[in-house]
Amino acid sequence: MSTLVLAWSLTAAQFLLGLAMLCATFRILRGPRAQDRVVGFDTLYVTAMLLLVTFGIGLGTAIYFEAALLIALLGFVGTVALAKFLLRGEVIE
C-alpha cells in the first residue's frame, strides 16, 4: 500500500517539476531582455537537477546523484559565464 503512495507521489513530484521547467522555458523564450533569459536558464538547471534526484529515488540508485551534481556544476559555470558576458561583453578578462 505504502509503496503505491511513494510511487504515486514521485510521479506527481516529477510532473510538478516538469511544470516548473516549462515556466522557466517560457521565461527563456519570452525574455524580454537577455538578463531575464539568463534567470530562466538558472531556474531551469536547478529544477532539472531536482528532477534527476527524484528519478534517483524512484529507481533506488545513487547514479542519478552524480548526474545531478554534474548538472549543478555545469549550470553554475554556464550562468556565471553568461552573466559575465552581459556585464562586459567578454567572458574572460
Partner 1 sequence: MNRTADIPAWAEIVTAALVLLGATITLIGAFGLVRMKTFYARVHPPTLGTTLGTGCIAMASIVYFSVLQTRPVLHEVLLVLFVLVTTPVTLMLLVRAALFRDEAKSEAGEASSSAIE
Binding stretches for partner 1 (CB under 8 A): 1-3, 5-10, 12-14, 16-17, 19-21, 23-24, 26-27, 33-36, 38-40, 42-43, 46-47, 49-50, 53-54, 56-60, 62, 65, 68-69, 72-73, 76, 79-80, 83-84, 86-87
- We find the least distance from the C-beta atom of residue 22 to partner 1, in angstroms, to be 8
Q: Are 45 and 78 in contact (CB under 8 A)?
A: yes
Distance CA 62, CA 45 (A): 19
CA-atom Rg of the chain in angstroms: 16
- We find the least distance from the C-beta atom of residue 92 to partner 1, in angstroms, to be 14
Grid coordinates representing 64 are: 542519478
- We find the least distance from the C-beta atom of residue 9 to partner 1, in angstroms, to be 4
Grid coordinates representing 41 are: 536558464
Please count the other Cβ atoms lying within 10 Å of the Cβ belonging to residue 69.
Answer: 13
- We find the least distance from the C-beta atom of residue 75 to partner 1, in angstroms, to be 9
Closest to partner 1 by CB, 6 vs 93, is 6
End-to-end CA, the chain: 59
